[in-house]
Amino acid sequence: MTTIEAEISVDEFRAKARDWLAANARKRGEADVGPMGESHEMGSPEERDYVARARDFQAKLHDAGFAGITIPRGYGGQGLTRAHQAAYSQEAGPYALPALNGLGFGLFIPTLLAHGTEEQKTYWIPKVLRNEKIFCQLFSEPGAGSDLAGLQSKAERVDGEWIINGQKVWTSGAQIADIGGGPFRTDAELPKHQGLSFFIVDMHQPGVEVRPIVQITGESHFNEVFFTDARTPDTSRVGGVGEGWRVALTMLMNERMSLGGGGGQTTRRGGGEGAIVRLARELELFDDAETRDKVIDFFIQQRVLALLGQRMGEQNKGRQPGPEFSIMKLMGTRVGALITELAPNLIGPGGQAWESTDELGSKWTQNLLASRSGKIAGGSDEILLNIIGERVLGLPQDPRVDKDIPFKEMKVGRVSI
């Protein structure tokens, strides 16, 4: 791995990044190297090829000193500033870089930095930064989505390791993941929030079964995961026994910050800031005053969200994301959904029914359908409004009749604990 000088200026770092990207990456439109979810079906040869290329590229990026830019050097990063990260991101903007392991970079690493042991951080973070270990988030269950603390998948301690049984659902990337992480119930005698512990789990071991879920778009980007006597060592427990909810909240806040900052599903599916402007220009509608006003309004909302995210990130520097990031996630997914509603209207009839060769109509209608999942993933709008009201604005809490009841006495789910 190349270690960038600790005292390197932002301008020098930018120049190094510019030169490296020019020599090692392709500009957008030169090749199909965009987000895997756009065109690659789960388990297909195209997906396997993409994953292999993305692993290889990320290892080269890390070796060149451009992965983990703000991560401490002792954990495989560069230990530089947010300004250095921003400089690299600006230079990387015109390039179509193979995108993989976003959950590992945006959720797992920050959570491990906050709650992991030194051994866990020095072992796992470099492997994630190089895409040697692809991460998936093991949170939602069939009976525990909005009420995540009601989960029933359990982990039982046996001779220095934990035996895991249960089911998770809506697990993005489980089919390519090497490791997963999430809360499991370790004590049903305690109230639901107190009896959870957080574990890192090997996704390739016997006893882990991944099944794809077909979405409304006809694609499969989510999975359900079944655990049958799967195992994980106690050294893969993040945080103390019974502290799983606290660790899970850290990961949730990082997820909401990530989803909100990107404007929801639009960015995830290759839209992002400026996509609606490019669409209007491509359709030669930008000279129409009414259309231009609508398009620019959404563009401004996305820019405001991005700037708000940067400001909140700076204000939160050195601290874990708090409930205020629920605002980012709520507004980001709402703006993203509105943009995907406008786009098919701009396209016209092709936004309702398109020929097999009509890539534009297909892409934006798929975006519209997929955008609805963004209003659920990472917390539904209703849950986020509750969090903002209670934990940000200080409004009275809703009554919680199950707060102090042992979990085993609760009437939940489909199985006995």
Residue 1 has pLDDT above 50, yes or no: yes
The pLDDT of residue 40 is 58
CA dihedral defined by 63, 68, 71, 75, rounded to 10 degrees? -40
Q: Tens of pLDDT along 89-105? A: 999 988 989 888 999 99
Cα 343 to Cα 252, 280, 281, 375, distances in angstroms: 30, 8, 12, 18
The pLDDT of residue 265 is 40
The pLDDT of residue 323 is 81
Token pair for residue 313? 């990130």
Residues with catalytic function: 255
The pLDDT of residue 363 is 80
Show the CA angle centred on residue 274, arms to residues 316 and 15, nearest 5°: 65
Q: Do the beta carbons of residue 243 and residue 197 sit within 8 Å?
A: yes
Residue 259 has pLDDT above 80, yes or no: no
The pLDDT of residue 273 is 52
Task: Name the least confident of 230-239, 242-251, 367-376, 378-387.
Answer: 367-376
Confidence of residue 416 (pLDDT cuts 50, 70, 90): very low
Name the one residue in this structure whose structure tokens are 């709402």.
Answer: 334
Tell me how far apart the alpha carbons of residues 305 and 310 are, in angstroms, rounded to a whole number.
9
What are 209's strand-pairing partners? Answer: 226
Task: Name the least confident of 81-90, 114-123, 212-221.
Answer: 212-221
The pLDDT of residue 318 is 66
Tell me how far apart the alpha carbons of residues 135 and 162 are, in angstroms, rounded to a whole number.
19
Tell me how far apart the alpha carbons of residues 20 and 30 are, in angstroms, rounded to a whole number.
17
Confidence of residue 266 (pLDDT cuts 50, 70, 90): very low
Mapped onto helix, strand or coil, the DSSP state of residue 101 is coil
Dihedral sign for Cα atoms in the order 278, 280, 283, 284? negative
The pLDDT of residue 14 is 97
The pLDDT of residue 268 is 40
3-state DSSP: the chain helix, strand, coil percent, rounded to 5?
45, 15, 40
Tell me how far apart the alpha carbons of residues 46 and 53 are, in angstroms, rounded to a whole number.
11
Token pair for residue 405? 């009841």
Tell me how far apart the alpha carbons of residues 184 and 150 are, in angstroms, rounded to a whole number.
10
Q: In the predicted model, what is the mean pLDDT of the chain?
A: 86
Mapped onto helix, strand or coil, the DSSP state of residue 222 is strand
Q: Tens of pLDDT along 377-407? A: 777 888 889 888 988 899 998 887 787 889 9
Domains of the chain as residue ranges with CATH: 10-100 (1.10.540), 136-244 (2.40.110.10), 262-379 (1.20.140)
Dihedral sign for Cα atoms in the order 205, 209, 213, 218? positive
The pLDDT of residue 417 is 45
The pLDDT of residue 215 is 81
Q: Tens of pLDDT along 313-342? A: 777 766 677 788 788 888 888 888 888 888
Task: Give the phi and the psi of residue 213 in degrees, each rounded to 5.
Answer: -115, 125
Across the range 273-286, mean pLDDT stands at 82
The pLDDT of residue 263 is 40
Q: Tens of pLDDT along 157-211? A: 999 899 999 999 999 999 999 999 999 999 999 999 999 999 999 999 999 999 9
Mapped onto helix, strand or coil, the DSSP state of residue 137 is strand
Across the range 13-32, mean pLDDT stands at 88
The pLDDT of residue 3 is 62
Mapped onto helix, strand or coil, the DSSP state of residue 70 is coil
Tell me how far apart the alpha carbons of residues 203 and 225 are, in angstroms, rounded to a whole number.
9
Q: Tens of pLDDT along 41-68? A: 777 888 889 999 999 999 999 999 999 9
